[in-house]
Structure 1
Amino acid sequence: IVYKTLPTLVRMCKKDKEPSVRATGADILAYLTEIDTILQQTASICDHLIPTLAELLKYQSNCISLLGYSDLNNQPITAATVKKLEQEVITTQEIKQAAFKAFASLGANDEDIRKKIIETDYIMDHIVSGLSDPNIKTRLSALRCLHSLSRSIQQLRTTFQDHAVWIPLRNLLHNASDEILSVASSTLCNLLLEFSPSKQHFLDRGAVDLLCELTRREEAALRLNGVWALMNMAFQADQNVKSQILNSLGTDQIFRLLSDPDVNTLMKTLGLLRNLLSNKPHIDHIMSLHGKQVMQAVILILEGDHTSEVKEQALCILANIADGDSAKEFIMSNEDVLKKLTSYMMHSNVKLQIAATFCISNLIWSEEDGANNRQDRLKEMGVLKLLQQLLTTNDTTLFDRVKTALQQFNN
């Protein structure tokens, strides 16, 4: 493949070849390099492939010259000419689609390749234009290309902002087919990451409602993308955005997502709860409105038949709740949850021990009001003895957490 097939396919994309041959070459290249990182790297440096593919996006058919010739000579357009025009339009679209797909495959994994693609003249202009193309296949291939390039942290910070990609992307999200919606929402997950300037353009009620609707869809991929995007949206968001998410999603839907058969959706839902329950004033505000349901959700996970990774997320949510001021009482007043915490402190899985110990540490933090009462209560439950036993651990992270907790008792 590397020494024969790849060079042949690259040559098929060159300007001197027939348009249909160029489209076929790029299409096969896209298929061949879609998941193979070695082939992606090799192809990207093979005989100027990236500029060659960029030339495909500039391809102009002979339609204009055919029409111009007919007008100049005052000749009616014949049926044969119409047929030729129709074929030219189809070929032009196929060439564009193949080029977008090839770029999407090449940039799927490697940051340097993505950088090369994006730095090629007018590539982003072609992608943005392609997102609004009347041909649905062209829109989808341009979208796949954008999704592939959106994995680049650097480009999210710069190029995507400069070209305002969120405008056509937002338009695509409305009344879209499931296939378009799946790729568009995957792209949106990347655009909503905290370091992406594009994030601010989606922090509104319309975007929140649309993502919450995705979480209610039957298709697992759409549910996952919806909750994933909400999780990214909620990260370090202000209280207004968090309230919008909670009000639009509703606690009933959160419970449904926590019972989702897809473990990835479950994990992202727990991640969403963690991000909502961050920042002391936000934690207290949300718990004052939804505390009972949040605690039920956490208990549901801790008592369920879940992996240690899933239970760790639930314990991390408890640790965030324990970091609130008034929110702490939801844990301190729940004997069952406190017993669960002491149980996880002595669990065979060290990550669960770390999360449980961190929660205890937040509950007994000595500088906060009512710390003495909480410390006395937990001492009665044997927490101090458990912490002293954990000092023998070989895990440095757990040891540090235990030391910090013990210092609170000593203070």
Structure 2
Amino acid sequence: MAEATTGGTQHRDYVAQLGSSDPDEVYGALRTIKNSVIGSSTKKALYVRLDVVAAVSAVLASAATGVASRIQATAIVGSLARSRTAGAAVAGGAVARGVVAALVRQLEAGTDARLVEASERALYALLAHSETLGAAGGAAEDALVAQVLGIIGSDGGGGGGDSAAGARAAIRLELAVLIVARLCVSEARQYMVANTGVIDALVRQLARTPAHVRLQAATLQALAALSYENGEICAALAEVGDGGVAAAVVRLARADDAHVRLHACRVAANLSRMRVLAGGDVQAVVVPALVRLVREPAGDVDAVQALGYVCHEDADVQAAARAAGAIDALVGRLAAAWAAAQGDFGDAARFAREARAAFLALGTVVSTNEESRRAAVDAGAFGHIVRALGHGDAGVRSAACLCARYIVRSVAICRTHAADAGLLRPLVGLLEDGSSDVQATAAATLVNLLSDFSPLRADALRLGLLPRLAALLDAGAPAVRRNALWAVRNLLVNVDDATRAAVVDAVGMPRLLALSEGADAALREHAVGALRNVAADSAAGCDALVAARGAPATLHLLAALAARPDTPADRPALVHALYLANNIVVRSDAHRAAVAAHVPLVQAVVAHVESRAPEVAVAALWCVSSVAAAAAGDDAAAGLRLLRRLGVPQVLARLLADPALPLEVQDRVKGCMDSLGCTDGLGAGASPDDTT
């Protein structure tokens, strides 16, 4: 214990010596600290606790500090910024004390070459923390950009060469290009960097002969950062040079060097997502290259992320990924990550990053294709998912939920493998997770598992699902509330009256009615959809809905919901509202006449008959047909008179005369005309058993 105390005191003394007025004492302390922290995470943590960042920052800020001491102090900053545990805190403390500005000043012309190199490396390490540059201030940012672009523009020795000077110049150019990559941490900074003209300089690097491999990889990394999720810059890249960047990145996706292949594929993925790169090249070259990189035992996790990114919402690219063996490669990556995490030198942070990337990429690859989902199950994906649902990292749990959600989109898998895999119990438990992201993805996964065809619905109710879902409707995170309400809506599809009453009692009819009037479009959609399902094929459900507020207030609500504008955002809720009114007319003996004769409601329904959206027009026409057919019971004849007074027969005739009318709308128009007595021999058809 005494030895440890002595050691701790000694390190504290070294930090104190940095404030000495003796330059030699300061240099000696800096050199000792630098030698201690390089390569030692323990010493880095120790010196961070001793507030060495403040002391070193003061050394760099002093005009009296000589070159030798500056080199040592700069190396300390760079080493501490690379700490996996304390790097972000070091960067924040350094920036707050003006270190970025001091390092940029050390890049100025005439500065000692060794100090310039140390400063560039330290800046590169600091910029790994995305918040660093923003906190540094505009002047430091502008100066840094000017410096690195000057290096790239001068291009001295960038092609490599046998001389030591050429090698040093190439290394400096590579580092400057990598700093550009780290500058592009937001859309605003992407544009800021692109507007300097650096794109032309970067593209020239790709055409170098002979190629400098490390510089080539760095250049592609910078282009990937510049173009990520930025359609304008992707379009600009397509027009730069002879034939743009697309041909170059496809060619480099076949390169011998793994880093060049990886970053070429990342650029290609960006161009593909922005529809700048031809789909054939992506499917034939880029996807197979990424799958090969994923298969490599020491492959970079960025390859996994790039594979998921390029496959996002593109069924053709997903099919190419499946054909290239992506599913087996990703499941194999998960197995390897678990094995590595259990070893003596297991890295929890690395495992979490690997697992998150693999689950998200696997979910994306299988998201649109039934054959891909079966392949994932056959490869053993469910075993990894169930294990990950209990992992300590919230990101791993959330990614596993998302992967499961896409796999159980399959009806066949939901009926068979999902039940056998043991997914249900941990998913229900995750509704009470401490992370709102996990709660949201768990609820979204349960949406698919609670469909009427799923054998797990009854088991979920026995596991206490209902009170958990009801509690989530009051959660602070909007995504949690929406997905929980979506799960409630699915629970109400094709249920018996006892289950319907249990769900409504747990959630509360007043709450569903209130949510149907809320400002959140997604919540409103699911709330009105849930009410539609409550009233579907159930007189008891209709009566319970109306009883919650009374007939006048319920009719007013239905009229308000049906009168909402037919916009893309409001359309799903509007369709549900029209079918909800239809369900009450069809199923409720007690309330059909009141609905059919309610002028504002019927007017709102009729106004949507001519909607350009077929799903809206069909829903409105079903409701019109049901109101008209209800007249046969004598107590709803007012509804038929109202429809005629509103000119519905003339509207229907006009629609039927439209040669561009979609077939599904045309069929419903004919049914309505028959219900209104406008035609002979055109069957009205039966009202749907309507749930959604």
What does residue 374 of structure 1 align with? 636
Report how far residue 348 of structure 1 moved: 6.3
Please state how far the C-alpha of 1:157 moved relative to its aligned partner: 2.0
Larger Rg: 2
Q: Which one-letter code corresponds to 1:116 in the other structure?
A: A
Bigger drift between 327-336 and 195-204 goes to 327-336
- 1:61 match: 340
Higher RCO (C-alpha under 8 Å, 6+ residues apart): 1
- Give the number of aligned pairs: 378
Pair 1:337–1:56, CA change in 2 (3 A):
closer
Matches within 5 A, 1:62-77: none
Q: TM-score, normalised by structure 2?
A: 0.49
Cα distance in 2 between the residues matched to 1:191 and 1:319: 28
Q: Deviations over 1:38-80 (max 9, x none)?
A: 332222222x33223222233223965xxxxxxxxxxxxxxxx
Question: SS of the counterpart of 2:505?
Answer: helix
**TM-score, normalization by structure 1:** 0.79
Tell me the distance in 1 between the aligned counterparts of 2:305 and 2:599: 62
Q: Paired residue for 2:592, among 328, 343, 359?
A: 328
Q: Within 5 Å, give how 1:242-391 maps onto structure 2.
A: 242-287=500-545, 289-290=547-548, 291-292=550-551, 293-305=553-565, 307=567, 309=571, 310-323=573-586, 324-331=588-595, 334=598, 336-337=600-601, 343-344=606-607, 350-351=617-618, 353-364=620-631, 366=632, 371-375=633-637, 377-378=638-639, 381=642, 383=644, 386=647, 388-389=649-650
Q: Distance in 2 between matches of 1:346 and 1:43?
A: 44
1:144 and 2:410 aligned: no
Unaligned runs of 5+ in 2: 1-264, 266-281, 657-665, 682-692
In the TM superposition, what is the alpha-carbon distance from 1:96 to its structure 2 partner? Answer: 3.5
Deviation at 1:267, TM superposition (A): 2.2
Q: 1:402 and 2:677 equivalent? A: no
Residues 509, 545 of structure 2: 8 Å contact kept? no
Cross-structure match for 1:72? none
Q: Which moved more, 1:297-306 or 1:163-172?
A: 297-306
| 8 Å CA contact retained: 2:593, 2:636 | no
CA contact (8 A) 1:378 1:384 kept: no
Amino acid at match of 2:626: C
CA offsets per residue over residues 370-400 of structure 1, 9 Å max, x none? x12433x345546489565466341331111
Query: Paired residue for 1:200?
Result: 458
1:29 aligns with 2:307: yes
Q: 5+ residue gaps in structure 1?
A: 65-84
CA contact (8 A) 1:124 1:163 kept: yes
Partner of 2:366: 107
Contact 1:131 1:142 (C-alpha < 8 Å) held by counterparts = yes
Cα contact 1:318–1:359 (8 A) shared by 2: no
Per-residue CA deviation, residues 352-379 of structure 1 (Å, 9 max, x unaligned), is 6513412313522x3xxxx12433x345
Q: Residue deviations 1:267-301, cap 9 Å, x none?
A: 22221111000224324542563243532321222
* Equivalences for residues 69-218 of structure 1 within 5 A: 85-120=344-379, 122-203=380-461, 206-218=464-476
**1:158-212 deviation line (CA, Å, top 9, x unaligned):** 2112213111111111133111111111111111222222222233594223323
Determine whether 1:43 maps to 2:321: yes
SS of the aligned residue for 2:295 comes to coil
Q: 1:197 to 1:50 in 2, by over 3 A?
A: same
Q: Give the distance between the partners of 2:476 and 2:566, measured in 1 at CA.
A: 22
Q: Distance in 2 between matches of 1:358 and 1:204?
A: 40
Map Cα deviations across residues 99-148 of structure 1 (whole Å, 9 max, x no partner). 3232112112222222211121x321221112122333332222221122
The CA distance in 2 between the partners of 1:95 and 1:340, in whole Å, is 53
Identity value in percent = 19
Query: Structure 1 pair 57/298, CA: closer, same or farther in 2 (3 Å)?
Result: same
**Which segment drifts farther, 150-159 or 205-214?**
205-214
Are residues 1:13 and 2:294 paired? yes
